[in-house]
Amino acid sequence: MKRASLMWKAMALASSPKESNPTMAAFPRSLSSMAASIGGLAVFLVIASLLLVSYPIGSTVSGYFYGIDSAGQVDLPIFEGNQSSIDRGHDSDVDVVDKDSSSGSDLKVLISLGGVNNNSVNVSDSQPGSDLQESTTGARKEEEASFKDGSVALSFKENDVDKGSEESSSDAASADSKSGAESDVSAVPSNASKTGSDDPGCDLYRGSWFYDSLGPLYTNNACPVLTQMQNCQGNGRPDKEYENWRWKPSQCNLPRFDAKKFLELMRGKTIAFIGDSVARNQMESMLCLLWQVEAPKNQGNKKMQRYFFRSTSTMVVRIWSSWLVHQTSEPIDFAPEGVVKLHLDAPDEHFMEFIPSFDVIVLSSGHWFAKQSVYVLNNEIVGGQLWWPDKSRPMKINNIEAFGISVETILTSIASHPNYTGLTILRSYSPDHYEGGAWNTGGSCTGKEKPLAPGELVENSFTDIMHKKQIAGFDRAIKKATDKSKLKLMDITEAFGYRHDGHPGPYRSLDPNKLTKRGPDGKPPPQDCLHWCMPGPVDTWNELVLEIIRREFASSQSSSV
């Protein structure tokens, strides 16, 4: 009975309301909850520690939320058909043989890393990687290099051409059927920076063209900014060997373009291509070469095209300027409104306002002096091209003289600018190869598939005199240059006189019904023998630009020591 009574009291106490003794009732329950929480946390920490040791979760989460910083690199996955559109700025270029506008066009970029050997892609601002191509690089030996049809026959010793770095993997090498050398497959030539000319006195512009079986550093499908008119393969050109000829100076080596080295040399700097559509051609070549290692951010506007390479804060700029001097359509004296007037003694103010922000300027002009214009000096009309209403009044200067004056004007203006201390490169007159007439009178370069051989060069009197006037203008400007300005002449005219094979010819459009052969009457189809196919000879210009910049920076560093 006593035990039953005790049990009854215990049951009554348990069933009594909690409010009767809240402290005594709540304390044991709270303590047990805390113990359970601590135990669970301990288990979680143990599991998390094991996971952190086996997989870097922290870096993955950080990358997901914060993205990749300017120095970061990431390997992009390969997705077939994964595309992204890239905006292109307004381009109102009108040249002697073409008019094109890329305003509002959407260019598709296929993400593909096929053939890339352990080279990561810099990614910025959600811009997918470029269409990276397979480019064959590495050691090369040109012994008794003979060229087809007897066009060129040259001999090179092993140390006369680019030598590759030590091959660490024999699996990556493949036999070169034309040169007998082994080559690595990578996105960027590993040897390009090791074989440059260390002799600043070596003339880069005297040499010869040789066949390089390694081929170009990009393909026409691997560059989203390639203008359709320069996309010769995309437009159906049947031959490709024009892409393989490279320039070899007689006394030194000109390395293959090294995009990584260029971006490093230009770290934090801006290079500007200023001039006509041939300047556009060269700028697009530069972008195609650089695009193989990094997709730039398009920051262009109506005044200029601007492409920003985030990894090194390098900017590539292009500004349109037909003649490089001031122009107006306002009436002057007996020249009415509407006809273009060129003030040969004043620079084009549309780009001069920007030059303090440039570190390297590459100038291109000349071909527009074949177009209608009026020449003005000291506010006096002194000549004209395809315009001179009063035949009884003698002209003081013609278009060739006007070109020489314009060169002196623009170079002097840049060199004397108080806020510009950069490097200015004047690329000499780019030769065209219209045969049997001019661009608008049936001239043709149809069927040209390889460079001219020594002794086959056809003299072009107009190209020769334009080149001479340009050099004379450059020399006059040099005499006026201040110590802080740097003017360099990139004299490509003679070397490129041999490259009649490098133009689009009739393959300047995607039209499947375009004419590509002469008609029954012998009349050639419409064609472009002025601009350059890409890839093609024009890429050599940027190899030269890189070498000029490398020499200039090396000279500046040595003089400061």
Q: Which residues are catalytic?
A: 277, 528, 531
Strand partners of residue 272: 317, 361
Spatial separation of the C-alpha atoms in residues 229 and 95, rounded to whole Å: 12
Is-contact 130 295, C-beta < 8 A? yes
| End-to-end Cα separation, the chain, in angstroms | 110
Spatial separation of the C-alpha atoms in residues 160 and 515, rounded to whole Å: 43
Q: Which residues of 29-67 are buried (b: 16+ CB within 10 A; e: fewer)?
A: eeeeeeeeeeeeeeeeeeeeeeeeeeeeeeeeeeeeeee
Give which of 139, 288, 133 is closest to 213, Cα–Cα. Answer: 139
Q: How big, in percent rounded to 5, are the helix, strand and coil portions of the chain?
A: 30, 20, 50
Give which of 391, 387, 374, 361 is closest to 485, Cα–Cα. Answer: 361
Residue type, 220: N
Tallying the residues shown for the chain, one arrives at: 561
Angle, to 10 degrees, between the axis of helix 277-291 and the axis of helix 538-560? Answer: 80
Angle, to 10 degrees, between the axis of helix 22-54 and the axis of helix 57-66? Answer: 90
- The DSSP code sequence of 208-238 is EEEE-TT--SS-TTS-TT--GGG-TTTTT--
Kindly report the three-state secondary structure assignment for every residue of 423-459. Answer: EEEEECCCCCCCECCCCCCCCECCCCCCCCCCCCCCC
